[in-house]
Structure 1
C-alpha cells in the first residue's frame, strides 16, 4: 500500500481512491503538469499470475487505442518495482452505482446509457469488448454545468479473436449480476454481450435493482440463463410498458435476439420513454398474456408468434415461444450531438472510485464445477458399450428388483400404476397409495415428487422435454438447488416405450452396465445452456421394457448429469 506523499513511477501519491480484486487506484499528482491523475496498480500478490499480469498490461494498450470522449483516457503505463501500473485521467465525480433510482429521472438514466452505448460501439468497431459493463464502471463528472459520462475499466477487455479463450483457465472474470448468459456458460462472446450488461445497468438505474437478484450466486446464474426479466413498468410507477419490450429484447437469452448495436438499444429505450405510442416494433415478452393484457406468471407461455427479429428474446432453448408484446415508436431519432471535449481543470480532492473493478472470479470449483463449456454440436447416433464398476453411495444397498416384463397384467387405475413404479424404484420414488388418483411424496435427495396421467402431463422443465409417447403414468420429481429433476414413466406395452425411444432425435446412445444391470442411455444434444437431458431405457431379462427415466440437469454439464445418474439408486 502506497503512503500519502510517496513517489511512485514519478507520481506523487495524494491518497487512495479505492481497492478492488485486481489492485488499487490512487489519486496522484503529475510530476511536471498541473494535473491530478488516477494511478492504477496491479496487486503484488497477483503479479506472479502470468495470465492476469498480461491482461493488466494489455489494458493500457487497449485503452490507448480508444480515443473517445466517453472513454476514460490513459496517459501512460509501465512497471515499477516489479509492479505494473497505468496512469489515467482522474474523473472528479461519482460512479453510476451511487445514484439512487428514486431520485434519478428516467430520461437522465437513459441519457447515461446512451452515452455509454456510444463508447461501447466505438470500442466494438475496433474489435474490443469491455466484458464488465456495470454502474460502477460508468463515471460521471460535471463540466461547465453539464454532466459528462465516461466508461472506465477495460481491464478485462480482450480482442474479439481472444474471446473464446475465456474459460480455458477454468475461471472467468465478470460481475455476476450484470453478466450475459454466454459469459456465464463459457460461450464465444461478441458485442451483444456488452449490450446485455448495458441493459442490466439500465434496469438498475430505472428500478434500483438488477433483473435477477438472489442471495446465492447459483440463483443469479439461473436467472440469467432461464428466467425472463421482470417488467420495469411494474417496478416503478410512470414507466411505459414499451420499455419492458425494449429491455426484453436487449436481455434476450440468445445474442441473435438482441439489438444490432448498443446505440440502437439506447435509441429504442429513449423512443419508448418519450413516445411509447409511435410506429411499430414487435418484441416478445413472457410476462404478457396471450391477449396482451395482464402479465402472465413466469414460466407460463402463450402461443408462438412472429417478429421481425425472428427470435423470441427470452425464450430458453426448447421452451415454447412466448406471447407477443407490441409497442410503437417513431423512426430512429438523429444521434445526440457529441458531448463537448473534456476541458482541463484542477480536480477537487474529493473521493471517486476510478476503474476499480469489483471482480467476481468464479472458478469451476467455486460453483461446484457447474460453469463449463457446453458441447451443443454433437449429434451422434453411434452406440458404445461400457462397463462401470459399482459406485459407492450413501443409500442402503438393496437387491435389484426382479426385471420381468412389467407391462403384463397392469391395472388401469392410476394409483395402482403409480404403486408399480414406486415398487420398481423404491429408493428413487415415494410409496404410492393404490387407491388414490394422485400421489405425492419425497423422493431421492429430497426431491418433491407427484404423479401424473398422460391426459394431464407434468409441466415442462424449461429444458425442452422430449415427447415420451403414449405412457400410462409418471412420477415427476423436482430436485432442489444443485440436484437434477427426474421423471419415471410407465408404459402398458414394451412397444409403446420402443416407439417413444424411436421418436427421439439428436442424441448419443450408450449401453452402460452398472451393478450388474444393463441400461441404455440417450444423451440428448442441443440442450438449453447448462440444462443437459438424458433418457434411460431399462431392460428386462427377456429383452422387453416398459419403463423409461428422463433426467434433466440444473446448471450442469452432460458429464455431471451422467455422474449423478450413475450414483443414483435406480436398481
Structure 2
C-alpha cells in the first residue's frame, strides 16, 4: 500500500481512493502539471498471473482508443518496480451507486442513463464491449454548475473480435445483479449485453432495487434467466406504466428482443416518461419480424407482445408466438401494491441454452464475488488432442483395504413407462439420485450434495448445461441434476442395451480415455477435449466389473442380453479444472 507523499512512477501519492478485484486506485499529483490524476495499480499478488496482467494492460489500450466526453480518459501508463499502472482523469464526485432513488427525480436518472448510453454506443461502434455496466462504474462530477457523467472501469472489457482466453475469463467477472443472461450462460456477447446491464442500472436508479434480487445467488440467476422483470410503476409512485414496456424490452432474455442500441433504449425510456400516451409506438416489432415487446406482466403492463412470428423476449428460449397476435395498448389501471409475480415458465424446448444454467450456473458467478484471481492462479489445463487418447490412471491412494465389489443383479430390462424407468435408474444410483414416482412421467428431488434433480423421458430431453453438452445418443430415461453451489452438475442416462451406450461413446467429440479403479470397481472416463475454460466435461462408462451383472460385454466380446440396461454418467464442472472435476467424481458415491 502506498502512503501519502510517496512517489510512484513520478507521481506524488495523495491518498487511496479505493480497492478492487485487480488492484488499487490512488489520488496523485502530476509531476509537471497542476493536475490531480487517478492512478490505478495492478495488485502485487496478481503479478504472476499472465491472464490478469494481460487484462489490466489491455484496459489501457481499450480506453486509449475511446476519446469521448462521457468516458474517463487515460493520460499515461507504464510499469514501475515491476508493477503495471495506468494514469487517468480524476473524477471528483460520487458514483451513481451512492445516489438515493427517493431523492433522485426520474428525469435526472434518465439523463444519467442517456449520457452513459452515448458512451456505450461510441465504444460499441469501435468494437469494444464494456461488460460490467453498473451504477458503481458511472461517475458523476459537477463542473461549472453542471453535472457531467463518466463511464469508468473498462477493466473486463474486450474487443468484440478478440478470441483470446481473456474473453472466456472475463465472462465470469460481471457483477451478478447487473449481468445479462448471455453472461450467465456463457453465450457470445454483443452490444445488447451492455444494454441489458444499462437497463438494470436504470431500474436501480428509479426504484432503489435491482430487477432480480434474492438472498441466495441461485435466485438472482434464476430471475435473470427465467422471470419477467417486475413493473417499475408498481415500485415507485408516479412512474408511467409505459416505462414498464420499455424496460421489459431492454431486459429481454433473448438479445434479439432488445433495442438496436443503448441510445435507442434511452430515447424510448425518455419518451415513455415524458409522453406515456404516445409510447406504444416504441414497442413495435423490428423490421423483419424480430422480437421487440414485453410479456404482459400483470395489470401494470401497457403492451402485449404479439409480433407476427416473433419470439417473446421474456419467454423460455425457443418458444414461438401465434402469427395472429398483434401489439395492443391497454387502458391504465392502478398499480398493485406488490410487484406482480412472473408468469409460469413455458415448457422446455430441446437444447434450450439459456435455461441450461439454472442452479448449476450459480458457481459461475459466485466466485467473482469473492475474487476470481485465486481460481485463475491454479489453472493447469491439460493439452487437448483432435482424437481419442488412451491412458490408464492408478487407483486412488488409500490407507484402507479396498472393499470387494458387491454383486448386484440388474433388472430384467427397461420399463416402458418413463416413471418406472426413472425409478429403476434411481435404484441403480441411490446415493446420487432421488427416488422417482413410477406413475409419473417426470419426477424431481434432491440428489448428491444438494443437487436439484429432474427426470426426463426421451421425448423431452433435459436442458443444455451451457457447457456444450455432447449428444448422448438413443437413451431411454435421464436424471439431470443441477449441482448445488460450488459443485458440478451431473446427469445419469439409461439405455436399453450396452450397444446403445457404446454408440453414444463412439459419437463423442475428441476425448482422453482413462480406466479408473475405485472401491474395487473399474470405470472408464472420457475427458472431453476443447471444453470451455473452467467448464470441464466428463463422461463415465459403467462396466460389468463394477459389481453389476450382466452389463457391458460378455467375456467373449459379444454384447450381453439386449434387454439389459446400460448406463452413462455425464458431469460438467463450473469454475474448475479437469483434475478438480475428476477429484469430485472420485469422491462421489457412484458405485
Most deviating of 420-429 and 387-396: 387-396
RMSD: 5.9
Please say if residues 222 and 555 of structure 1, whose CA atoms lie closer than 8 Å, have aligned partners that are also in contact: no
Number of the residue aligned with 1:115? 115
Number of the residue aligned with 2:260? 260
Distance in 2 of aligned mates of 1:286 and 1:398: 59
Please say if residues 253 and 315 of structure 1, whose CA atoms lie closer than 8 Å, have aligned partners that are also in contact: yes
Distance in 2 of aligned mates of 1:478 and 1:38: 47
Distance in 1 of aligned mates of 2:165 and 2:123: 20
Please say if residues 286 and 322 of structure 1, whose CA atoms lie closer than 8 Å, have aligned partners that are also in contact: no
Please say if residues 39 and 88 of structure 1, whose CA atoms lie closer than 8 Å, have aligned partners that are also in contact: yes
Q: 1:434 to 1:307 in 2, by over 3 A?
A: closer
Number of the residue aligned with 2:36? 37
Counterpart of 1:399 in 2: which secondary structure?
coil
Number of the residue aligned with 1:543? 562
How far the C-alpha of 1:542 sits from its partner, in A, is 1.1
Distance in 2 of aligned mates of 1:553 and 1:322: 33
Counterpart of 1:94 in 2: which secondary structure?
coil
- Give yes or no for the alignment of 1:403 onto 2:410: yes
Structural mapping, 1:183-198, within 5 Å: 183=183, 188-198=188-198
Number of the residue aligned with 2:67? 67
How far the C-alpha of 1:438 sits from its partner, in A, is 11
Counterpart of 2:110 in 1: which secondary structure?
helix
Deviations 1:207-240 (A, max 9, x none): 323344455666655655x333532435444444
Counterpart of 1:150 in 2: which secondary structure?
strand
Please say if residues 118 and 263 of structure 2, whose CA atoms lie closer than 8 Å, have aligned partners that are also in contact: yes
Number of the residue aligned with 2:375? 365
Number of the residue aligned with 1:281? 284
Please say if residues 206 and 232 of structure 1, whose CA atoms lie closer than 8 Å, have aligned partners that are also in contact: no
Q: 1:189 to 1:430 in 2, by over 3 A?
A: closer
Structural mapping, 1:6-25, within 5 Å: 11-25=11-25
Most deviating of 440-449 and 204-213: 440-449
- Give yes or no for the alignment of 1:231 onto 2:230: yes
Aligned length: 513
Most deviating of 251-260 and 417-426: 417-426
Gaps of at least 5 residues in structure 2 are: 331-367, 544-550, 553-559
Please say if residues 134 and 198 of structure 1, whose CA atoms lie closer than 8 Å, have aligned partners that are also in contact: yes
Q: 1:171 to 1:554 in 2, by over 3 A?
A: closer
Please say if residues 8 and 80 of structure 1, whose CA atoms lie closer than 8 Å, have aligned partners that are also in contact: yes
Q: 1:254 to 1:90 in 2, by over 3 A?
A: same
Gaps of at least 5 residues in structure 1 are: 297-303, 330-357
Deviations 1:374-404 (A, max 9, x none): x9xxxx9x99999887779999875242236
How far the C-alpha of 1:312 sits from its partner, in A, is 4.7
Please say if residues 30 and 37 of structure 2, whose CA atoms lie closer than 8 Å, have aligned partners that are also in contact: no
Q: 1:414 to 1:83 in 2, by over 3 A?
A: closer
- Give yes or no for the alignment of 1:484 onto 2:489: yes
Q: 1:419 to 1:18 in 2, by over 3 A?
A: closer
Number of the residue aligned with 1:166? 166
Distance in 2 of aligned mates of 1:139 and 1:160: 25
How far the C-alpha of 1:179 sits from its partner, in A, is 3.7
How far the C-alpha of 1:519 sits from its partner, in A, is 8.9
Deviations 1:92-111 (A, max 9, x none): 32110101223223332222
Distance in 2 of aligned mates of 1:51 and 1:412: 51
Q: What TM-score results when the alignment is normalised by the length of structure 1?
A: 0.65
Q: 1:555 to 1:235 in 2, by over 3 A?
A: farther
How far the C-alpha of 1:162 sits from its partner, in A, is 3.1
Number of the residue aligned with 2:247? 247
Number of the residue aligned with 1:138? 138
- Which structure ranks higher in relative contact order (CA pairs < 8 Å, sequence separation ≥ 6)? 1
How far the C-alpha of 1:435 sits from its partner, in A, is 11
How far the C-alpha of 1:306 sits from its partner, in A, is 5.2
Number of the residue aligned with 1:354? none
Number of the residue aligned with 1:209? 209
